[in-house]
Amino acid sequence: MTVSGDNSETIGIAPTEMIFEPILEHGVFRFDCSVEHRKAAFPSVSFKNIKDREVPVVSHNVPAYTPTCVCLEEKQVVTFEFSPGTSFYGTGEVGGELERTGKRVFTWNTDAWGYGPGTTPLYQSHPWVLVVLPTGETLGVLADTTKKCEIDLRKEGIIGITAPTSYPIITFGPFSSPTAVLESLSHAIGTVFMPPKWALGYHQCRFSYMSEKRVAEIAQTFRDKKIPADVIWMDIDYMDGFRCFTFDKERFPDPSALANYLHNNGFKAVWMLDPGIKKEEGYSVYDSGSKDDVWIKQADGKPFIGEVWPGPCVFPDYTNSKTRSWWAIIVKDFISNGVDGIWNDMNEPAVFNTVTKTMPENNIHCGDDELGGVQNHSHYHNVYGTLMARSTYEGIERADKNKRPFVLTRAGFIGSQRYAATWTGDNLSTWEHLHMSISMVLQLGLSGQPLSGPDIGGFGGNATPRLFGRWMGVGAMFPFCRGHSEVATDDHEPWSFGEECEEVCRAALKRRYQLLPHFYTLFYIAHTTGAPVAAPIFFADPKDSRLRTVENAFLLGPLLIYASTLNNQGSHEFHHILPKGTWLRFDFEDSHPDLPTLYLRGGSIISVAPPHLHVGEFTMSDDLTLLVSLDENGKAEGLLFEDDGDGYGYTEGRFLITNYIAEKHSSIVTVKVSISDGDWQRPKRRVHVQLLLGGGAMLDAWGMDGETIQIMMPSESEVSELITTSNERFKLHMENTKLIPEKEMLPGQKELSRLPVELNSGNWKLNIIPWIGGRILSMSHVPSGVQWLHSRIDINGYEEYSSTEYRSSGCTEEYNIIETDVEHAREEESLILEGDVGGGLVLQRKITIPNDNPNILRIASIIEARSIGAGSGGFSRLACLRVHPTFTIFHPTKTFVSFSSIDGTNHEVWPDSGEKLYEGNNLPHGEWMLVDKSLNLRLVNRFDVSQVVKCIVNWDCGTVNMELWSEDRPVSKELPLEIEHEYEVTSFP
Segment 88-143, tens digit of pLDDT? 999 999 999 999 999 999 999 999 888 888 888 999 999 999 999 999 999 999 99
- What pLDDT is recorded for position 827? 62
Spatial distance between the Cα atoms of 988 and 935, rounded to a whole number of angstroms: 8
CA distance 446 to 836: 49
Q: What pLDDT band is residue 828 in, cutting at 50, 70 and 90?
A: confident
- Give a three-class secondary structure readout of 40-99: HCCCCCCCCCCHHHHCECCCCCCCCCCCEEEEECCEEEEEEECCCCCEEEECCCCCCCCC
pLDDT level of residue 784 (50, 70, 90 thresholds): confident
**How remote is the C-alpha of 674 from its chain's centroid?**
40
DSSP alpha helices (H): ranges in 685-780? Answer: 716-736
Q: What is the pLDDT of residue 750?
A: 42
pLDDT tens for residues 179-226? 999 999 999 999 999 999 999 999 999 999 999 999 999 999 999 999
Question: For 53-67, 126-140, 634-648, 783-797, which range has the lowest pLDDT when averaged over its residues?
Answer: 783-797
pLDDT digit string (tens) for 719-733? 999 999 999 999 999
φ, ψ of residue 207 to 5 degrees: the values are: -100, 90
Once rounded to an integer, what is the mean pLDDT over residues 161-178? 97
Q: What is the pLDDT of residue 751?
A: 46
Q: What is the pLDDT of residues 462-487, one digit of tens each?
A: 999 999 999 999 999 999 999 999 99
Residue 694: pLDDT over 60: yes
First to last CA, the chain: 36
**CA distance linking residue 312 with residue 308, whole number of Å:** 7
Residue type, 519: F
CB 17 within 8 A of CB 66: yes
Determine the angle formed by the axes of helices 516-529 and 499-514, rounding to 10 degrees: 50
Task: Give the pLDDT band of residue 868 (cuts 50, 70, 90).
Answer: low
Output DSSP code: residue 240: B
CA distance 770 to 773: 6
Tell whether the model's pLDDT for residue 398 goes beyond 50: yes
Task: Extract the runs of DSSP E, i.e. beta strands, from 510-582.
Answer: 534-535, 553-556, 559-562
Is pLDDT above 90 for 536? yes
Per-residue pLDDT at 748 exceeds 60 = no
pTM: 0.91
Give 300: exposed, middle or buried? Use CB within 10 Å, 0-12, 13-18, 19+. exposed
- The per-residue pLDDT for range 839-852, each reduced to its tens digit, is 888 999 999 999 88
Point out the residues that are catalytic: 345, 348, 426
**pLDDT tens column, 849-859:** 998 899 999 99
